[in-house]
Amino acid sequence: MRDIHGLPITASSAEAGAGFDRTVLAYLKYRADTPDHLARTLAADPEFGLAHCMKGYLAMLSYKQANVPTATEAARAARSLVARATARERAHVGALEAWIAGDLDRALAVWEGILADHPTDIIAFRLAHFNNFWLGRPQDMRASVERVLPKWSRELTGYGTVLSCRCFAHEECGDHATAEPAGRAAIEIDPGDIWGTHAIAHVMEMQGRHREGIAWLTELERHWAGGNNLLHHLWWHQALFHLEQREFDAVLGLYDRRFRDLAAPLTRAQPDLYIDVQNAASMLCRLELQSIDVGSRWDEIADKAEARIGDCLSAFTLPHWMMALAATGRDAAAERMLEAMRAFGEGDGTVARIVGAVAVPVCEAVLSHRRGQFSLAVDRMRPALDAMHTLGGSHAQQDVLCQLFLDAALKAGREQDAALMLTRLATHYSAPAEQRIGHTSAARRLAH
């Protein structure tokens, strides 16, 4: 039996094979019903090893320690079932096992090995793209997509996803001229391509095209029905465009009714999902840096942060948890979180090394900034600046940390450090610093 891309799969029935195809396509399209398709696939064939592996992948994609046992059980089941499966299917199980063990470098090597032999394996491609992103490796994202692109064509299902990934990878590498046509081509294939929509929004953010960005997202929103929590991130992008226009009421409206609506089904299903936490905390921080009162909105995030102390699977989320703890004055919880991060950072996993070397000092800086210890905040973060990209996240997402550093440097009277940060930011943004809301104060002060 073969999947939608002609790759052999070891399934017992056409029903299971078709269900797996639907699962993969739903995953590529960021559909909220992806787990439902997978459940039906496994019901049709409980001994489908690659489907069990996919269950493990989906659990790991939550970047939540509490879901690792689910992934571990799925990997165990998959391993017992793929002895007579294809080498490609066995390799996928090996990648899942490496991921669970914390060895993302090995997992990435396995996925790229699969792609070398099977460049249309869209699961390996998408997982490599995603994990390279959350490890701050845009050049690897770009290299991966460029290696497989010649083997793809518009006739292949999933080609739009490859183009969307090409757009995002090139945007993060600063090549907007290559990025935007790829993203627009993806949207021509499927106007509901959420990743492609998102990638173009990033291009517009970096180029200061804020009004155009609002129009872009507003026009395409009608195609997003059935999407998962990445929809919240698109609304976060829309709020970011409004923030740059100093339309703070619009930002808070989007916060409460779109990307942090606690009563919304997507939020209730996963109230502490890493991307949602990043969206919420980073926007509240940005607003406060503009002297906007955000009321009690920090409280529910801080509650969730306390419950997740010791969970370090998403390095980039850690400073956002810390923002909430610091904003609500939960100093004891903040110290416990730092202690747990230091312990995790002593491990030898891919993310453990990043947490110990980068996330710890950045979180210390976040806490020091909130305490009014501005010079200390600069001292904590400055040595980590060169490696801060390894926390993961885009240039647009990481900018909240850059803004915190700028604010601390200015308040500490450390203009050389502020100038250093503005120089670094100039490599990502097309618009001058004076036109970027989070960088304006520093640019004006340094101009005098």
The answer to whether residues 90 and 111 belong to one domain is yes
pLDDT digits over 86-142, tens only? 999 999 999 999 999 999 999 999 999 999 999 999 999 999 999 999 999 999 999
**Other CB atoms within 10 Å distance of the CB of residue 46:** 13
CATH number of the domain that residue 125 is part of: 1.25.40
Q: Are 107 and 131 within 8 A, CB to CB?
A: yes
Is 276 a member of any domain? no
Last residue of a domain, one of 211, 228, 245: 228
Give me the pLDDT at residue 405, please: 98
The answer to whether residues 212 and 92 belong to one domain is no
Q: Is the pLDDT of residue 280 over 90?
A: yes
| CA-only gyration radius of the chain, Å | 22
Give me the pLDDT at residue 448, please: 77
Give me the pLDDT at residue 395, please: 98
Q: Are 105 and 31 within 8 A, CB to CB?
A: no
The answer to whether residues 196 and 321 belong to one domain is no
Q: Are 91 and 72 within 8 A, CB to CB?
A: no
What's the angle, vertex CA 152, arms to CA 189 and CA 120, rounded to 5?
Answer: 110
Interatomic CA distance for residues 107 and 96, integer angstroms: 7
Give the residue-averaged pLDDT of 399-417.
Answer: 98
Is 370 a member of any domain? yes
Q: Are 286 and 243 within 8 A, CB to CB?
A: yes
The answer to whether residues 125 and 154 belong to one domain is no
Q: Are 34 and 228 within 8 A, CB to CB?
A: yes
Is 252 a member of any domain? no
The one-letter amino acid code at 23 reads T
Is 264 a member of any domain? no
Is 242 a member of any domain? no
Torsion angles phi and psi, residue 8, rounded to 5: -65, 135
The answer to whether residues 130 and 3 belong to one domain is yes
Give me the pLDDT at residue 414, please: 97
Interatomic CA distance for residues 57 and 47, integer angstroms: 17
The answer to whether residues 301 and 436 belong to one domain is yes
Exposed / middle / buried, residue 296 (Cβ in 10 Å: 0-12, 13-18, 19+): exposed
Q: Are 89 and 117 within 8 A, CB to CB?
A: no
The answer to whether residues 110 and 176 belong to one domain is no
Last residue of a domain, one of 90, 113, 135: 135
Give me the pLDDT at residue 139, please: 98
Q: What is the maximum alpha-carbon separation in the chain?
A: 73
Last residue of a domain, one of 108, 135, 162: 135
Is 13 a member of any domain? yes
- Nearest Cα residue to 214 out of 246, 238, 194, 235: 238
Q: Are 167 and 186 within 8 A, CB to CB?
A: yes
Torsion angles phi and psi, residue 122, rounded to 5: -70, -25
Give the residue-averaged pLDDT of 148-166.
Answer: 97
Written as six digits, the tokens of 362 are: 């950045």
Is 170 a member of any domain? yes
The one-letter amino acid code at 255 reads Y
The answer to whether residues 150 and 299 belong to one domain is no
287: confidence class by pLDDT, cuts 50, 70, 90: very high
Is 335 a member of any domain? yes
pLDDT digits over 422-431, tens only? 999 999 999 8
The answer to whether residues 198 and 290 belong to one domain is no
Mean pLDDT, the chain, whole residue set:
98
pLDDT digits over 327-386, tens only? 999 999 999 999 999 999 999 999 999 999 999 999 999 999 999 999 999 999 999 999
The answer to whether residues 291 and 440 belong to one domain is yes
pLDDT digits over 201-213, tens only? 999 999 999 999 9
pLDDT digits over 60-91, tens only? 999 999 999 999 999 999 999 999 999 999 99
Interatomic CA distance for residues 263 and 183, integer angstroms: 32
**How many domains does the chain fold into?**
3
Interatomic CA distance for residues 245 and 213, integer angstroms: 12
- Nearest Cα residue to 63 out of 133, 139, 125: 133
The total number of residues shown for the chain amounts to 448
Helix, strand, or coil here: 288?
Answer: helix
Q: Are 288 and 37 within 8 A, CB to CB?
A: no
Q: Is the pLDDT of residue 42 over 90?
A: yes
What residue numbers bound the domain in which 76 lies? 1-135
The answer to whether residues 115 and 176 belong to one domain is no
The answer to whether residues 11 and 112 belong to one domain is yes
